[in-house]
Structure 1
């Protein structure tokens, strides 16, 4: 499965056979509970088509023209790197068949078995040929006698990435008669069967090296592998691509796990999708000018020129199979929409799409979810010949990450309206009418067979195809158009007809068909350049990609004239259109624009162009007083993409920029310019050195200050850099300042700041903030400092606990702490803090070690809890949570919510806006991991021998007041007190979860998340 998928179950659940350790009763994992555990959208019903023992661990699926379901099993998933029992004969391709139409498979057959298809992640059935992606190989199997057994195995492609989840994925047959497939960011390079590097149309190797392609890619080629094209690149792990009848491509992409950045993409042909920095190949964590604050957006370099926008970001997940539903059986809301499986959050969704400018916008509509059984792992979705939806369920306690927790189970579900039987008309290719019926099928495998028959018939099928082209169904019309344009000598006629059609989707299909059959697109673009639809004009821009026609620059400028200066989809299409010829195209537009270039449109084009021609214009934009400071990072970032002497001279000019009246803006411009200059150039020239000193002095406390001090090693400002780390709160500025100080080897200054005397609460909090910043730097130099705090018994306990949380944020730091724990060198007072921190981590290796040293606390029914990050992803019942909160013996006994309850611990009326879900679980499960200020527990030992425990309310020289666990305040004269001892643990019970089940605990947290505003206190009547 998907290599970087989220592991969402503690290590003890990952065993090669199931045990009693599970999220709920063992019987709940049996196949007879599979359907009851699902929640299915209204108007639909799930039935279990097949399950274990007939199949196990299905990773990829296809449904053929006979309605048979083909499955790639991955029992041996990543067996080579894991010590697990394997199926010695290798993984299997299994065919499941329902022979009596009851919607359940009653026959199964092994098409092929072998260790050469272990961990396969893609299957595509094309008549008697089957394409299987089993990295590093893409195989073509042939069933020569149609007996359901592979008779021939050939190598279609080979990829460089070895056996890897982020490599070759499933193929799909397109409406244009070509093959579409992809690989993730470990694919590396594509070779033919003889091992020769595949070259695309432009003669470039299909190679992940930034020249020009990065990461995951989407491909199109003929069925024999010839005429190879790279359609898009710079994805992380784009699991599967799908294509609709108009030739529009859609796919999902997985983020670096834990960053809530999973995305759905409309794949604009020849687009860059921004996983890596196109300029350097750096990943999203590398600081860059103008990047988003929000990690899910920053993740994809969306503010860099040349990056196509995302259609939708769906948060955390492990995205898998995808298809376009072009049937009529399911309810209207799902028709012609994307359907997608996401194994991580246990869901199959539709993404209803609407056109938005030159692109699209989408929403989420769940089809199947499983709140009860978190082992439901939908790995693929396909459409059957009757229009029903089939869902493959890998069924496992976790998802990927080189893991498999259950090698025995696996399910296939059929989703359809409640009364819809699994019945359909068999494909008849003996007549043209039968083939026409086949090309209308919602099932791609059926359409493949029909397409080949109709294409083979050529002009003989023309009348029937023309009739289909007159259909009211626009998708049928598009399928007919692709075939009509494929009739020898007729491409020009039907393309000319299509581009005059009243439907913009047909006009788009006509233009794509012209490219498919290699017609001259220039006359067509001329006719469509003023089209009312921005989507059609988008396709015109894409059609100009690498065109050598002398008319292309002027046509491109015409398309620019209709850009509104706002639509990023349109802008990126224009960028794709001028790719490789930016100077020629931009010169044509600038000549046309003349002095009127400085408009939103002109600024966007210059930002997007990434060529030396744009430099003087970008400088003018930056210097223009009408350019708001918030927009300046965008144009400086554009300069980063332009190499050479002209850019260096431009930033040198900007470093001496002067502007009357706006010191803040001037400082920013000079700082950004200097940061792009060579340190030798700046320090060897007095005018630049003077500018540097002035801007550092005037930019104190800003990101520019940090950047300049670090780059130019301005030693006199090192102490201020460290001070900034402790005086900026828990902020990006603090983290960047301390990271810079560590890079500059100022560990001694940092330790001096940490050891400074703290006389008041403000200064104490500054130290905690500095510790927090150290933990967030991801700099190995921080770990030694943090570990020294943790191991120093003279350090305040609150600081040591913060250091534990901080060191656990990095893999080396976490393992160093675990090393100490294994040797018994972690203070028992820190164990709860360590347990909480390790439970919340997404680092699987850390979580495994920590689970042995700091096992999760059991619940009321004595079942171990999953990690905090898993609990945080589970939804609960607010009403039940409110009831549990107020039940005697739980939360309301010590906490007040809007005036109700006992005021022992902190008032929780606004806790939902103060703490995240993760923090709420941590507070309940590990109360001593971090005790709120002023809620430390004290023990008062009286002269009489009595002992009182509680919270300190007040203490003077004469008396002390303690509030006990029953919220009763008791005051004692100091003359009667023997000793007052501050406790190191929370007054809150450390085993509160023992009175709750997992479900009750989740429900309480769900309720707490709703507490975001205290009710106002009414004034008493006078």
Structure 2
């Protein structure tokens, strides 16, 4: 490890000589064809060899270590200098073996002073302890916005020397320190405002005085469902005023990017391993479905009309009120994004998103084209780390000459609160082959020159031009009008944003643009009108029959919360044009009608002459939020020609119209005479508020018929539990005995043990002491409850039971927090029979809590030292294993907590594409040091219930009233918050320590060889 003095010393100009050797060229083909050793592969002079660059482009290395380390985010100013957020101290508390830079992290300026295309000058713009793993930087003239959870700072360089002279707080109170899922980078939009976001750990946001911010409608900006949830997208003035929430309910939306029309795009990360990473067009004020909109429940929670595929279920895409995804890109760790509006790169990348995904080591472009009121896209890879999977692109940025710059975190892994390499970091430049880096000169001494600068692909340059042109006001009109009359649509939009806000003149330009032949110019005009608070109704009237579904989408959104008496009729006319296929258009209608459904919906019914029962009409009924739709929903689902299972979406719609009218409508369905009435009953009974229904004879009959239709299923168990049916113990026992579904068995046991004499029945069922008894014993281990532990303990201590049943009982008994404690207590009290002690030794020696294993060694023959000696990671990565043998090792050691292609236990992150995300180094580290990197969302907690039960697991769902805990073994338990008397963070991974030593080096190497083969299939 280099010393701090050497590692962070100023870089001399001669560094350019070394860096110049890192560019790719045809003259070095022979040299670059030589195989590299593992150590050579990570040297900066070989960095380009590790990249696969798209045809027509080449990569060059602009800067590398020790000039910079661990870059998380970059920006490029009008002079072509690269500004870098370093995060050397990332997760230093979770990785205590890593040295700490006590001076804090740095904001760097890297500059190419001699024009050779490589950085030769490094300036530390700012360093301080409050800069602790920053994740965002935006350079706007002499001001620099740095996002560093829980704060957003604005630094000012007052004398132009490249050093911060003043620091101010713009926002604070955003998540915890060093949190990847909190505040991210800011961008300057074409309207002169700031755009930014935070992930689902942001929670809330405060102004510089520490007061929680409220939106224009006086809603507190907080993740509490009133009305916002999870990650959010924001817009505000540069001073923080006029703060708006533009969309919500994302997981970890990393960076929002706006194009010249003001259209917003971003990526969002899934819960690790679920292949659900997505790219979103951000429809203003949309809900993006990470959690249940109404309750906040997690995506794993059972609901009517659940999506068949986990990547889609992950985002509640079947629910009314969720905006669809543009793309889903599988597993990954998506990071920075930019809209490329330059002309240096080839045509297919122009006017498109360019996006870094650090997980699969790739920078992509998404070729987007209109699709109805929404969009569709294809993927074009620009750079891939095919030769070096330490390539971790953390951000992308556009230079003034139109070339693409990529920040490379460079590490064996990414995210998960882990960092393995502190010494490296790179900045690459991507450009057409042979294109040298140059910075176009410009000045802002008059409007004509400023308009030229406004056309730059570089945002920092456009910012300076925008400020000057805005300040010049009417004096800038001739130059802006000339640009507005050009044939470049995006340049025209940039000019229109400035023209449209000129006092006394702007509305004329807006009116003219509303008649433009270009759909995007009309959209831009409407957006300017909304921001300037122009006559919304008058403008929507002009666009009500626009030939473009995208323009009508914007018109529908423009009616959101508009109290004009004309708004309902205008919305109805827009709704009449819905084609029954375009989900984007339907969700825009939903956003436009928000909080005004009671007037908008009847206006639509009148507009269609009450002829609502069509394909498109039923969709509007499904999306609506008003009690007026309830009788219509009843009519749809009770149609004798409709198979209930084909109309589940309409049953789900009842949930979004809560209240007494909903309950009445659902009860009326129980009194129907549908050919599949039993199935209808089984669905409806899960939607009704069971606490408000009198148990009449007819209602009991409905329950009985419903149970008949779902016998032996999870729905059966849910109905028995929901309605507290005490006479179904034998049926529950039969499910336990006959099912091979572990989750279903556990659910049945949970319900059975909550009833009178359920434990008695289970004990009786164990009397045969045969294979059925063995099945029950294994199932009992999935339920963390005193009754289940009592039954298992009785079997362990009763020598009348066969040894195989008692050994199985010990393994089942020891599951979970309380099981480990109780088994240890039996060992302490010397109550364990001799013939079961070997199994007790086995389970306690692999306890999840190291202190349990250490204590148990005092009473049982347990080794407290490593079972097998394991080589250092640096040596392990040079070894080659047998992937086939590794698959068997996975089944033995890992499948109890992880899944690969739906095989195994769904507890920890799914590993089906882990080889695309992590290098061998990172995989070894995650196995050998599991507590060094715990994926967000999988942090453990210990819980203590009122009845004394203790649980260990992670929170898979949380609502205002309940917490669902996923426990080791994959079972879930839902508990009322009022029943939880204690909840403490568990400071270690839920993955057991010492796993590598337990399996031995040969099996470990084989396992890692297998895991590296698990990659995304193209």
- Native 8 Å contact 1:482 1:513 kept in 2: yes
What is the SS of the residue equivalent to 2:130?
Answer: helix
User: How far did residue 362 of structure 1 move?
Assistant: 1.9
Measured in 2, the distance between the counterparts of 1:243 and 1:791 equals: 67
- The corresponding residue for 2:505 is 490
Give deviations 1:770-804, integer Å, cap 9, x for gaps. 78877888999989989999999988989989997
Measured in 2, the distance between the counterparts of 1:368 and 1:127 equals: 30
Give deviations 1:626-664, integer Å, cap 9, x for gaps. 3332233222221112222211222222222222xx2xx
User: Residue 391 and residue 805 in structure 1: after superposition, are their counterparts in 2 closer, same or farther (change >3 A)?
Assistant: farther
Query: Which of 42, 52, 58 does residue 45 from structure 1 map onto?
Result: 58
Measured in 1, the distance between the counterparts of 2:122 and 2:163 equals: 12
Query: Which of 110, 123, 133 does residue 109 from structure 1 map onto?
Result: 123
- Native 8 Å contact 2:901 2:912 kept in 1: no
Give deviations 1:182-238, integer Å, cap 9, x for gaps. 111222222221223322222222222211111111111111111111100111111
- The corresponding residue for 2:712 is 701
User: Residue 474 and residue 678 in structure 1: after superposition, are their counterparts in 2 closer, same or farther (change >3 A)?
Assistant: closer
Query: Which of 719, 735, 738 does residue 727 from structure 1 map onto?
Result: 738
Alignment of 1:371-520 (within 5 A): 371-520=386-535
User: When the two structures are aligned, how many residues end up with a matched partner?
Assistant: 863
1:652 equivalent in alignment to 2:667: yes
Measured in 2, the distance between the counterparts of 1:116 and 1:455 equals: 34
What is the SS of the residue equivalent to 2:706?
Answer: helix
User: How far did residue 834 of structure 1 move?
Assistant: 11
What is the SS of the residue equivalent to 1:486?
Answer: coil
What is the SS of the residue equivalent to 1:255?
Answer: coil
- The corresponding residue for 2:682 is 671
- Native 8 Å contact 2:663 2:689 kept in 1: no
Measured in 1, the distance between the counterparts of 2:580 and 2:213 equals: 39
Structure 1, 677-686 or 105-114: larger mean CA deviation? 677-686
Measured in 1, the distance between the counterparts of 2:809 and 2:431 equals: 53
Measured in 2, the distance between the counterparts of 1:166 and 1:527 equals: 42
- The corresponding residue for 2:598 is 583
1:308 equivalent in alignment to 2:319: no
Runs (5+) with no aligned partner, structure 2: 1-35, 850-862, 889-899, 905-909, 916-922, 924-998
- Native 8 Å contact 1:858 1:994 kept in 2: no
What is the SS of the residue equivalent to 1:214?
Answer: coil
- Native 8 Å contact 1:351 1:364 kept in 2: yes
Measured in 2, the distance between the counterparts of 1:552 and 1:372 equals: 58
With the length of structure 1 as denominator, give the TM-score of the two structures: 0.76
User: How far did residue 429 of structure 1 move?
Assistant: 0.8
User: How far did residue 268 of structure 1 move?
Assistant: 0.3
1:74 equivalent in alignment to 2:87: yes
With the length of structure 2 as denominator, give the TM-score of the two structures: 0.76
User: How far did residue 472 of structure 1 move?
Assistant: 2.3
- The corresponding residue for 1:710 is 721
- Native 8 Å contact 1:856 1:864 kept in 2: no
- The corresponding residue for 1:962 is none
Measured in 1, the distance between the counterparts of 2:293 and 2:441 equals: 49
User: Residue 918 and residue 223 in structure 1: after superposition, are their counterparts in 2 closer, same or farther (change >3 A)?
Assistant: closer
User: Residue 788 and residue 488 in structure 1: after superposition, are their counterparts in 2 closer, same or farther (change >3 A)?
Assistant: farther
User: How far did residue 464 of structure 1 move?
Assistant: 2.1
- The corresponding residue for 2:993 is none
User: How far did residue 704 of structure 1 move?
Assistant: 3.2
Query: Which of 204, 209, 212 does residue 194 from structure 1 map onto?
Result: 209
User: Residue 857 and residue 811 in structure 1: after superposition, are their counterparts in 2 closer, same or farther (change >3 A)?
Assistant: farther
Query: Which of 696, 719, 724 does residue 685 from structure 1 map onto?
Result: 696
User: Residue 915 and residue 153 in structure 1: after superposition, are their counterparts in 2 closer, same or farther (change >3 A)?
Assistant: closer
- The corresponding residue for 2:39 is 26
- Native 8 Å contact 1:284 1:300 kept in 2: yes
- The corresponding residue for 1:119 is 133
- The corresponding residue for 1:943 is none
Give deviations 1:387-421, integer Å, cap 9, x for gaps. 11111111222223332222221111111122111
- The corresponding residue for 1:184 is 199
Measured in 1, the distance between the counterparts of 2:874 and 2:184 equals: 43
- The corresponding residue for 1:973 is none
What is the SS of the residue equivalent to 2:607?
Answer: helix
- Native 8 Å contact 1:189 1:208 kept in 2: yes
Measured in 1, the distance between the counterparts of 2:765 and 2:113 equals: 76
Measured in 2, the distance between the counterparts of 1:60 and 1:791 equals: 60
User: How far did residue 352 of structure 1 move?
Assistant: 1.5
User: How far did residue 439 of structure 1 move?
Assistant: 1.0
User: Residue 134 and residue 626 in structure 1: after superposition, are their counterparts in 2 closer, same or farther (change >3 A)?
Assistant: same
| Higher Cα Rg, which structure | 1
- Native 8 Å contact 1:59 1:379 kept in 2: yes
Give deviations 1:574-612, integer Å, cap 9, x for gaps. 000001111110011112233411112222122212222
Measured in 2, the distance between the counterparts of 1:399 and 1:737 equals: 40
Structure 1, 73-82 or 546-555: larger mean CA deviation? 73-82
- Native 8 Å contact 2:871 2:1001 kept in 1: no
- Native 8 Å contact 1:270 1:576 kept in 2: yes
Measured in 2, the distance between the counterparts of 1:258 and 1:789 equals: 38
Query: Which of 579, 590, 598 does residue 564 from structure 1 map onto?
Result: 579
Alignment of 1:473-872 (within 5 A): 473-659=488-674, 662=675, 665-679=676-690, 682=693, 684-730=695-741, 737=748, 740-741=751-752, 863=876
Measured in 2, the distance between the counterparts of 1:26 and 1:629 equals: 62
Measured in 2, the distance between the counterparts of 1:790 and 1:240 equals: 55
Measured in 2, the distance between the counterparts of 1:184 and 1:914 equals: 28
Structure 1, 780-789 or 556-565: larger mean CA deviation? 780-789
Structure 1, 728-737 or 425-434: larger mean CA deviation? 728-737
Measured in 2, the distance between the counterparts of 1:483 and 1:726 equals: 72
User: Residue 802 and residue 607 in structure 1: after superposition, are their counterparts in 2 closer, same or farther (change >3 A)?
Assistant: farther
Measured in 2, the distance between the counterparts of 1:656 and 1:196 equals: 53
User: Residue 321 and residue 749 in structure 1: after superposition, are their counterparts in 2 closer, same or farther (change >3 A)?
Assistant: farther
Report the aligned-residue RMSD: 4.3
- Native 8 Å contact 1:393 1:412 kept in 2: yes
What is the SS of the residue equivalent to 1:263?
Answer: strand
Give deviations 1:846-870, integer Å, cap 9, x for gaps. xxxx999687988999626999xxx
- The corresponding residue for 2:156 is 142
What is the SS of the residue equivalent to 1:36?
Answer: helix
- Native 8 Å contact 2:811 2:839 kept in 1: no
- The corresponding residue for 1:93 is 107
User: How far did residue 996 of structure 1 move?
Assistant: 8.7
